[in-house]
C-alpha cells in the first residue's frame, strides 16, 4: 500500500458553496435537466446528472430520501414539476449532502492509486511497458512519450468504479490538461483528453472485479435508456450482470479501446459514447490494474504546439530535462478523476 492515495476525494465545503452560488436561474437549470422536455423531472433525468452527487453515487432511493428531507416533492411521486423545482432552494440540497457523510461504498469510485514515471531513465520494466504500448497503438513516439505516466490502481474487497468515459469533449470553455501548459489560455474547466485507454490486469481476482461495457454492441445509443425501472446500467455495484460485455481480470492480459471517434480527416473527433465502462464490485480478494492513457488534444494545432515546446525544452535542458517533465509535474498532485 506504500505510496497509494485514495482515488476520489469529496469536494470541499468551499467548492460546494461556490456551486451553490452559480448564477443560473431555476428555469435554466430545470431545462438542462429535463432531457425529454415534458416539463417534469423524472428520477432517471436527475440520476443521469451523477455529478449532482458531488462525488457520491446517487441511487433512486437516495434521490427520494433527499426529496423527502428537503420537502422538494410534496406529493411523493418522485417527479418534480417546474413549480416544485423552483420552490426548492439549492442551498438546502448542498446542506443535505454535507450532513450525510459518504461511505466508501457510496462513492463514484472506491479505490487507491499511484502514478509511475515511464520516461527516459525510468526502470527498465516501465520503459518496456511503454515500448509495448507504442507497438500496440502504432502511434508516434512523440504522442505516447508525452502522455500520462502509468497509473496503478488497487481495488480492495468492496471496491468498484461506476461506469464512465475516460475522456470528455473539449468545448470552447475547456482545455486539455496536458496542452494547457503551452496554450496560454485561461478557461474555467479542463479535461484529460485521453484518446486511447490501455488497461492491464496485474492479478487474478478471486471474486468480481470485471470490466463492464454496458452498451457495447448496442445498435443505437440513448443516454436515458441507461436508466430504466430503477435499473441503472452504470451502477457497477448492483447491475454489472446486465452489461453487454464483461471482461474478467486475468493476470498478464490487457484490453484497450479508443475513447474518441475519428474526425474523418485523420485526427480526433467526438467522444465515443460506446466506450462507457466501469469496474464491477470486487466481492472477494483484491484487484490490481494499471492504466496507460494516450493523451491527444482534439485541436491538432494545439497538440503540435505542445510537442514542439516539449522538444525545445528537451533540447535546451540537456540530460536533466526530458519532455516528460511537464506531464510529471501536471499529474503529481492529481486527485480527482473525470
Closest CA to 147 of 125, 165, 167, 163: 167
Q: How confident is the model at residue 334 (pLDDT cuts 50, 70, 90)?
A: very low
Please say if the pLDDT value at position 38 is more than 70.
yes
Please say if the pLDDT value at position 204 is more than 70.
yes
Whether 14-104 and 108-330 share one fold: the answer is: no
> What pLDDT shows up at residue 121?
83
CA gyration radius for the chain? 21
> Measured between alpha carbons, how far is residue 310 from residues 24, 95, 293, 334 in Å?
40, 45, 18, 21
Q: How confident is the model at residue 324 (pLDDT cuts 50, 70, 90)?
A: very low
Length of the chain: 338
Average pLDDT over residues 223-248: 92
Place of cell 540537456: 318
State the DSSP string of 3-57. T-EES--PPPHHHHHHHHT----HHHHHHHH-TT-SSEE-HHHHHT-GGGGTTBP
> What pLDDT shows up at residue 243?
96
Using CA atoms, how far apart are residues 7 and 111, in angstroms rounded to an integer?
A: 6
Q: What is the pLDDT of residues 125-176, one digit of tens each?
A: 999 999 999 999 999 999 999 999 999 999 999 999 999 999 988 887 888 9
Parallel, antiparallel or unpaired: strands 80-81 and 150-155: unpaired
Of 13-27, 205-219, 223-237, which gets the smallest average pLDDT? Answer: 13-27
Percent of the chain past pLDDT 70, that is, above it, reads 87
Q: Look over the chain and give the mean of its residue pLDDT values, rounded to a whole number.
A: 86
> What pLDDT shows up at residue 332?
44
What's the grid cell of residue 42? 423524472
> What pLDDT shows up at residue 333?
46
Please say if the pLDDT value at position 292 is more than 60.
yes
Closest CA to 212 of 157, 270, 257, 148: 257
> What pLDDT shows up at residue 173?
80
Contacts of 317 (CB under 8 A, 6+ apart): 325
For the chain, the domains span 14-104, 108-330
In the structure, how many helices (H) and strands (E) does the chain have?
Answer: 11, 21
> What pLDDT shows up at residue 133?
96
Using CA atoms, how far apart are residues 14 and 11, in angstroms rounded to an integer?
A: 8
> What pLDDT shows up at residue 325?
43
> What pLDDT shows up at residue 302?
92
Please say if the pLDDT value at position 287 is more than 90.
yes
Starting at the edge strand found earlier in the chain, the sheet holding 109-110 runs 109-110, 160-164, 277-279, 211-213, 245-247
> What pLDDT shows up at residue 321?
52
Average pLDDT over residues 326-334: 48
**Is-contact 197 166, C-beta < 8 A?**
yes
State the DSSP string of 150-209. EEEEEE-TT-EEEEE-SS----TTEEETTTHHHH----SEEE--EEEEEEEE-S--SEE-
Q: Is 217 exposed, middle or buried (0-12, 13-18, 19+ CB in 10 A)?
A: exposed
Using CA atoms, how far apart are residues 235 and 138, in angstroms rounded to an integer?
A: 34
Q: How confident is the model at residue 290 (pLDDT cuts 50, 70, 90)?
A: very high
Q: What is the CATH number of domain 14-104?
A: 1.10.238.10
Average pLDDT over residues 72-99: 87
> What pLDDT shows up at residue 9?
65
Q: Output 32 or 336, whichever has higher pLDDT.
A: 32
Average pLDDT over residues 93-120: 87
Q: Which fold, 108-330?
A: Jelly Rolls (2.60.120)
Q: Output 317 or 301, whichever has higher pLDDT.
A: 301
Instruction: Centre a 10 Å sphere on the Cβ of residue 58 and count the other Cβ atoms it contains.
Output: 22
Instruction: Centre a 10 Å sphere on the Cβ of residue 74 and count the other Cβ atoms it contains.
Output: 10
> What pLDDT shows up at residue 329?
47
Q: How confident is the model at residue 50 (pLDDT cuts 50, 70, 90)?
A: low
Amino acid at each position: 500500500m506504500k505510496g497509494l492515495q485514495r482515488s476520489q476525494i469529496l469536494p470541499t465545503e468551499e467548492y460546494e458553496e461556490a456551486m451553490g452560488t452559480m448564477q443560473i436561474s431555476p428555469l435554466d437549470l430545470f431545462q438542462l435537466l429535463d432531457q425529454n422536455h415534458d416539463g417534469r423531472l423524472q428520477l432517471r433525468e436527475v440520476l443521469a446528472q451523477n455529478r449532482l452527487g458531488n462525488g457520491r453515487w446517487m441511487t433512486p432511493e437516495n434521490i427520494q430520501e433527499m426529496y423527502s428531507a428537503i420537502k422538494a416533492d410534496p406529493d411523493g411521486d418522485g417527479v418534480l414539476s417546474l413549480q416544485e423545482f423552483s420552490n426548492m432552494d439549492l442551498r438546502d440540497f448542498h446542506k443535505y449532502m454535507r450532513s450525510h457523510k459518504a461511505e466508501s461504498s457510496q462513492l463514484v469510485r472506491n479505490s487507491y492509486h499511484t502514478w509511475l514515471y515511464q520516461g527516459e531513465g525510468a526502470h527498465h520494466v516501465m520503459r518496456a511497458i511503454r515500448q509495448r504500448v507504442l507497438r500496440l497503438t502504432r502511434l508516434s513516439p512523440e504522442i505516447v512519450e508525452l502522455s500520462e505516466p502509468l497509473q496503478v490502481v488497487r481495488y480492495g474487497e468492496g471496491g468498484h468504479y461506476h461506469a464512465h468515459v475516460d475522456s470528455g469533449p473539449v468545448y470552447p470553455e475547456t482545455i486539455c490538461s496536458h496542452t494547457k501548459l503551452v496554450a496560454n489560455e485561461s478557461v474555467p474547466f479542463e479535461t484529460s483528453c485521453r484518446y486511447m485507454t490501455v488497461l492491464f490486469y496485474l492479478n487474478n481476482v478471486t471474486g468480481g472485479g470485471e470490466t463492464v461495457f454496458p452498451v457495447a454492441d448496442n445498435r443505437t445509443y440513448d443516454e436515458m435508456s441507461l436508466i430504466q425501472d430503477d435499473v441503472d446500467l452504470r451502477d457497477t455495484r448492483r447491475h454489472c450482470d446486465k452489461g453487454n460485455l464483461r471482461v474478467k481480470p486475468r493476470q498478464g492480459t490487457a484490453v484497450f479501446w479508443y475513447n474518441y471517434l475519428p474526425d474523418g480527416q485523420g485526427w480526433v473527433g467526438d467522444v465515443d459514447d460506446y466506450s462507457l465502462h466501469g469496474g464491477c464490485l470486487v466481492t472477494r480478494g483484491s484487484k490490481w490494474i494499471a492504466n496507460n492513457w494516450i493523451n491527444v488534444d482534439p485541436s491538432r494545432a494545439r497538440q503540435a504546439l505542445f510537442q514542439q515546446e516539449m522538444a525545445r525544452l528537451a533540447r535546451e535542458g540537456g540530460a536533466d530535462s526530458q519532455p516528460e517533465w511537464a506531464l510529471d509535474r501536471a499529474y503529481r498532485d492529481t486527485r480527482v478523476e473525470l
